[in-house]
Amino acid sequence: MKQIKAGVIGVGYLGRFHAQKYAALPGVELVGVADVDTVRAQEVATECGCSAYTDYRELVAAIDAVSIVVPTSLHHPVAKYCIERGVDLLLEKPMTVTLAEADELIELADRHNSVFQVGHLERFNPAVMAIKPFLTTPVFIESNRISTFKQRGVDVDVVLDLMIHDIDIILTIIDSPLKTIHTVGAPVVTGTTDIANARLIFENGATANITVSRISLTNIRKMRIFQPGSYINVDFANKKVMTIKLGEGVLASGMPKHDIEVESFAGQDALYNEIEHFIDHVRRRATPIVSGSDGRKALEVVLQVMDQIREHQSLELFSRIKTSTGP
């Protein structure tokens, strides 16, 4: 088995975990980690038994594959540099700030024959992976991703931070073009949207209703999928899947008879699964299940949701100003 030399660029909260997974993977040598914070880079390097860099370009020269876990505004220049130097990459979500940046990276990766995976972690949640055999023709999806307030990540819109996970999954579940989007959202404790709802309606009539919040008192990460004859409940946080299938006959209450199955995957690690998948595809020179094109599809919908919410907020503010000042 070919030894893959790997690195991590950006070892803040999430990047540190990436480094730990690479260090634990068989057939992988974690060469080093890079971060502009010298103390942080050395701390993670010591913990994972590798070298520390403050200039990511020096690390890139010594590796085959890399996780890029820097702020989103830096995704494009750092990823471009890596691709142009023949390094395969796992780029954290959202892949870029704009679609133009995403298109350039996809084109570059194709030209350089690079393995390009986007870090939509929930795709590797074992509960999400387990629902595939049960999917038939989803007609309605209800998704709730509610979290307590954390200072980390509040520099970006909650749609870009949280809703993008659910949008990415839904785009893989519903096999139909998106027709319309209806949104609401508002800033509550930060300068960007903290709570939002989006209703996605597809050409085949399927509908997805997505609610996200980062200002709750509890944490909830669940998705319910309704389709003819069955219902699937996905608990992302506890890694559980409940399926209900209708049977023949009815109960005394008049409810159709049904079979309930619950599967738990509590012992599995989604991030380890994600990085293992990436390295396997680097080794085999194959396209990962969350390609650059998949990352772009999710980003495109997310940007539409954000634009629509901003437009509604601007119209509401204009209406209030006009009302207060008179004709």
Strand 220-227 with 230-235, pairing: antiparallel
Q: Is the dihedral of CA 265, 267, 271, 275 positive or negative?
A: negative
Q: What is the pLDDT of residues 156-177, one digit of tens each?
A: 789 999 999 999 999 999 999 9
Gap between the Cα atoms of 68 and 10, Å rounded: 6
The 8-class DSSP code of residue 74 comes to G
Among 72, 84, 67, residue whose Cα is nearest residue 32: 67
**Tokens 């494009």 belong to residue:** 76
Q: Which helix (H) or strand (E) holds 81?
A: helix 75-84
Predicted confidence at residue 325, as pLDDT, reads 42
Q: How many CA atoms lie within 13 A of 298 on its CB side?
A: 30
Domains of the chain plus CATH, in order, are 4-114 (3.40.50.720), 123-268+304-308 (3.30.360.10)
Gap between the Cα atoms of 92 and 109, Å rounded: 16
Among 196, 237, 236, 243, residue whose Cα is nearest residue 215: 196
Q: Are 141 and 178 in contact (CB under 8 A)?
A: no
Would you write out the chain's pLDDT as a tens digit for each of its 327 residues?
789 999 999 999 999 999 999 999 999 999 999 999 999 999 999 999 999 999 999 999 999 999 999 999 999 999 999 999 999 999 999 999 999 999 999 999 999 999 999 999 999 999 999 999 999 999 999 999 999 988 766 667 899 999 999 999 999 999 999 999 999 999 998 888 999 999 999 999 999 999 999 999 999 999 999 999 999 999 999 999 999 998 877 777 777 888 899 999 988 899 999 999 999 999 999 999 999 999 999 999 999 999 999 988 765 554 454 444 444
- CB neighbour class for 39 (10 Å; exposed up to 12, middle 13-18, buried from 19): exposed
Q: What is the pLDDT of residues 240-285, one digit of tens each?
A: 999 999 887 777 777 788 889 999 998 889 999 999 999 999 999 9
> Going along 3-85, which residue ranges are E strands?
4-9, 28-34, 51-53, 65-68
